[in-house]
């Protein structure tokens, strides 16, 4: 009761802010909250400009760190809020007022148990960026290396814990009173969100993600990741190589530096494609503030707080979907969804084929530079309710990343489609992973893995046979009762296979193994 009262009190505070921005619509479908929403709208509502998603983004920014992160998470869920709102939330600015240098110093010295001056020969007291989870200062190490130091925002973990408890309470309430929304898995969505932010609040995880992606791109002369200074990295502090470059959305500066914008976006498109399809590990927050191009044309990515993974099977499915859409084979697009188990088998393949065509034809009918694969995925997710298709979190995060990448591409080279630039890589990947040779290779690998397991299976069977030969065949009482029940069911009627036959076959097989 006390927890419910506390949640309702906090919820009313949130509703008040949402009302001021005319952004209460996400809560309107929860019957239990209608009275609270009505009061907040009547008392606090103010005229607000912009689309619903833009108004919601401004409200989330005012509500602070947890809600900024929630907005970023919801930007991957067009199935929850609609495609337009999700797209607007993609551009939610993760910026807050910086915290003081004294607090930053205390956190750094507490983490490493030594004075700031012994860690860095110089440290800029004014941060260069301040976001919801952390802020960044420039510094120089004692050996003269320029670095960027990311420091976790004080108190952010406590605030997050308070708000996440409210989100769980709301998600469970929605699942209980709105059964038709359970397929959207609101509780699972909050759990995924919680896990994601927990990772962001431990900067060692971000450092590890950066190091892993750096290894993936080792030897690549077009794309790289800043080096991590592990000696000055901990749970609340991360130190990495300082980057100097031009943000990828500054087209005029890039051109003035003598760089070809088309070449730059080609490198960015290739890097993103390699992350997703080659490595199955991608940067999931590729807005312009996290992508820079150096004077030599090399692209550098920063901020690895949000990353995503796509396993090999999902990559294959996604590749077949993409190939089906690009070739107009909508039947194959539908079949892939059913083969993957994403759509229940009792639904109509023909109807899903029709839905896929209705989504793709308007998009592919546009000029090549306006075609958006991210929009295609977003609209595909929007029709999932009709086919009882469960949410695929890994694809939602990928769709958000593609949307951001496409946005960067349109600013840098609006006359070009970034997926067309990546066409050679797409073609090679399709041939290597979906062609006849790849299928033969997959079959050979599958057979080899099965053969690898065979010796252990035989060893286990032989051990079982020795046990039976020395101790006899012991059956659990429940098994004996079930055998008796089966015998009773078949008694009085003719049966082609007696109930005891499977057990006799088991005993015979084990007898053969014993006599080997």
Q: What is the distance between the terminal CA atoms of the chain, rounded to a whole angstrom?
A: 68
State the catalytic residue, choosing from 124, 285, 428, 478: 285
487-491 contacts at long range (C-beta below 8 A, 24 or more positions apart):
none
Tokens, residue 189: 């969505």
DSSP, collapsed to helix, strand or coil, labels residue 44 as helix
Alpha helix (H) residue ranges in 217-284: 251-256, 261-273
Q: DSSP character for 245?
A: -
Tokens, residue 514: 């014993």
* C-alpha separations of 82 from 76, 211, 257, 337, 356 in Å: 10, 35, 40, 21, 18
Roughly what angle, to the nearest 10 degrees, separates helices 373-382 and 349-364? 140
Roughly what angle, to the nearest 10 degrees, separates helices 65-74 and 156-177? 50
* HEC readout, 339-362: HCCCCCCCCCHHHHHHHHHHHHHH
* C-alpha separations of 318 from 19, 358, 462 in Å: 40, 19, 43
Beta-carbon contacts of residue 182 (< 8 Å; ≥ 6 apart): 175
Is 303 known to be catalytic? no
- Which active-site residues does the annotation give? 285
């Amino acid at each position: 009761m006390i927890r419910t009262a506390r949640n309702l009190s906090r919820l009313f505070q949130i509703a008040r802010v949402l009302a001021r921005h005319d952004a209460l619509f996400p809560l309107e479908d929860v019957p239990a909250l209608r009275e609270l929403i009505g009061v907040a709208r009547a008392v606090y509502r103010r005229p607000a400009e912009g689309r619903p998603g833009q108004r919601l983004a401004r409200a989330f920014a005012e509500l602070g760190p947890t809600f900024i992160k929630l907005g970023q998470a919801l930007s991957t869920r067009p199935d929850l809020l609609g495609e337009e709102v999700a797209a607007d939330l993609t551009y939610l600015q993760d910026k807050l007022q910086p915290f003081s240098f004294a607090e930053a110093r205390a956190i750094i010295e507490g983490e490493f148990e030594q004075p700031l001056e012994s860690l860095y020969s110089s440290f800029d007291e004014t941060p260069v960026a301040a976001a919801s989870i952390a802020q960044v200062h420039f510094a120089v190490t004692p050996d003269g290396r320029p670095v960027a130091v990311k420091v976790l925002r004080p108190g952010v973990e406590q605030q997050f814990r308070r708000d996440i408890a409210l989100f769980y309470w709301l998600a469970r309430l929605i699942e209980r009173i709105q059964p038709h929304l359970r397929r959207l898995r609101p509780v699972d969505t909050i759990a995924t969100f919680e896990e994601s932010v927990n990772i962001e609040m431990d900067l060692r995880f971000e450092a590890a993600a950066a190091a892993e992606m750096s290894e993936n791109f080792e030897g690549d002369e077009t794309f790289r990741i800043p080096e991590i200074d592990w000696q000055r990295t901990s749970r609340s502090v991360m130190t990495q190589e300082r980057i100097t470059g031009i943000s990828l959305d500054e087209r005029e500066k890039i051109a003035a530096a003598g760089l070809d914008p088309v070449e730059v976006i080609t490198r960015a498109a290739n890097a993103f494609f390699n992350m997703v399809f080659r490595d199955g590990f991608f940067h999931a927050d590729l807005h312009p503030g996290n992508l820079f191009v150096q004077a030599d044309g090399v692209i550098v990515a920063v901020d690895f707080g949000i990353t995503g993974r796509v396993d090999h099977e999902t990559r294959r499915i996604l590749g077949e979907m993409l190939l089906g859409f690009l070739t107009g084979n909508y039947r194959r697009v539908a079949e892939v969804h059913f083969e993957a188990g994403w759509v229940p088998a009792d639904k109509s393949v023909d109807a899903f084929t029709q839905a896929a065509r209705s989504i793709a034809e308007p998009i592919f009918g546009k000029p090549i530079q306006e075609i958006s694969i991210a929009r295609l995925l977003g609209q595909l997710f929007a029709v999932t309710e009709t086919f009882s298709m469960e949410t695929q979190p890994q694809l939602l995060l990928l769709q958000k990343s593609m949307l951001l990448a496409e946005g960067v591409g349109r600013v840098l080279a609006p006359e070009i489609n970034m997926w067309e630039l990546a066409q050679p890589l797409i073609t090679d990947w399709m041939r290597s992973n979906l062609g006849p040779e790849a299928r033969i290779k997959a079959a050979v690998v599958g057979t080899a893995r099965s053969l690898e397991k065979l010796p252990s299976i035989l060893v286990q069977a032989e051990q079982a046979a020795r046990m039976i030969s020395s101790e006899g065949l012991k059956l659990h009482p429940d098994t004996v009762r079930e055998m008796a029940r089966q015998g009773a069911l078949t008694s009085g009627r003719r049966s082609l296979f007696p109930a005891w036959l499977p057990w006799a076959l088991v005993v015979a097989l084990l007898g053969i193994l014993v006599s080997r």
